[in-house]
Amino acid sequence: MAGWHQIDVPELRYNDAALKAGSSGTLNAGNIGQDIELLERIVARDAGAVGELYDRHSRLLYGLILRIVRDRSEAEEILQEVFVLVWNRGATYNPVLGSPAAWLVGIARNRAIDRLRANTVRRRAIESMRVDVEPADSPEIDASLAEQQRTVKEALDAIPREQRDLIEEAYFLGFTHSELAERHKLPLGTVKTRIRTGLLALRGQLSPIGVDHE
């Protein structure tokens, strides 16, 4: 996922008072025409329209995301991803299927659920790492296993999200490279390169401690 610095869109700053847990917000359902006009401007690559759409709907979207992921930092990150998607895929909005507000809610909900699923897969990935140590009731062994688990988590954290997500979805959710290319709207070659690069990075970090990541 591209960051704001990678597209020609003004930085959108979070208003902590507006986005705090429990804040209420309303979708401007009575101004559908204005939302459609903003989307048309976004499709025409008017970056300022993204900020205006954000101001109109960010509070409710943030509240929805936060209720799903239950983490403020992740909710803010996902909210940003939603508006990056709007900037990149505004042309896919179809008024026949609902209002722009409903479209935004659908995007936000899907991104939040995807993040929950990714977090679950990530935990499963850590638990599935095999360690070359025989089970034993020993504080030393327990400490060693805990240290290796921390190392695995740090190795995953060190991989860029764009690589980590593809690796986890390929190896733990069973998506093929072609399916991942379609799912993430990426060229097939890019998907293969990111997965290969991420696996090489994992191998380099985990091999010294004897963790089998294959």
DSSP label at 44?
T
CB 206 within 8 Å of CB 147: no
- 189 shares a domain with 136: yes
- Output the domain CATH number for residue 178: 1.10.10.10
Q: Which helix (H) or strand (E) holds 131?
A: strand 130-131
- φ, ψ at 212 (rounded to 5°): -90, 110
* Structural domain includes residue 51: yes
Quick one: 16 and 66 in the same domain?
Answer: yes
Instruction: Report how many domains make up the chain.
Output: 2
pLDDT for position 105: 94
Give yes or no for residue 17 having a pLDDT over 60: no
Average pLDDT, the chain: 76
Same domain, yes or no: 181 and 95:
no
60 vs 117, which has greater pLDDT? 60
51 and 90 fall within a common domain: yes
**What tens digit of pLDDT does each residue of 83-112 get?**
999 999 999 999 998 899 999 999 999 989
Amino acid at 52: E
pLDDT digits (tens, 9 = 90+) for 134-155: 455 566 655 656 666 677 777 7
Residues spanned by the domain of 139:
132-212
Residue 134 neighbours by CB distance under 10 Å: 6
Domain boundary among 62, 85, 115: 115
The whole-angstrom separation of Cα 58 and Cα 104 is 10
Q: Please tell me whether residues 110 and 146 are part of one structural domain.
A: no
Please indicate, yes or no, whether residues 101 and 152 belong to a single structural domain of this protein.
no
Domain CATH for 8: 1.10.1740.10
Residues 26 and 66 in one domain: yes
Q: Are 159 and 191 in contact (CB under 8 A)?
A: no
* Within a domain: 169: yes
The mean pLDDT of 153-167, rounded to a whole number, is: 82
Is residue 104 located within the same domain as residue 146? no
94 and 148 belong to one structural domain = no
Is residue 206 very low, low, confident or very high in pLDDT (cuts 50, 70, 90)? confident
Residue 121 lies in a domain: no
Flag the least confident range among 40-44, 46-50, 172-176, 188-192. Answer: 172-176
Question: Among 28-42, 44-58, 104-118, which is the least confidently predicted range?
Answer: 28-42
* Pair (154, 72) in one structural domain: no
My answer on whether 100 and 177 are in the same domain is: no
Of 132-136, 141-145, 161-165, 174-178, the least confident? 132-136
Summarised one tens digit per residue, pLDDT across range 74-91 is 899 999 989 999 999 999
Q: Let me know whether 96 and 172 are in one domain.
A: no
Helix (H) or strand (E) holding 189, with range, is: helix 188-206
Q: What pLDDT score was predicted for residue 3?
A: 37
Average pLDDT for 166-176: 78
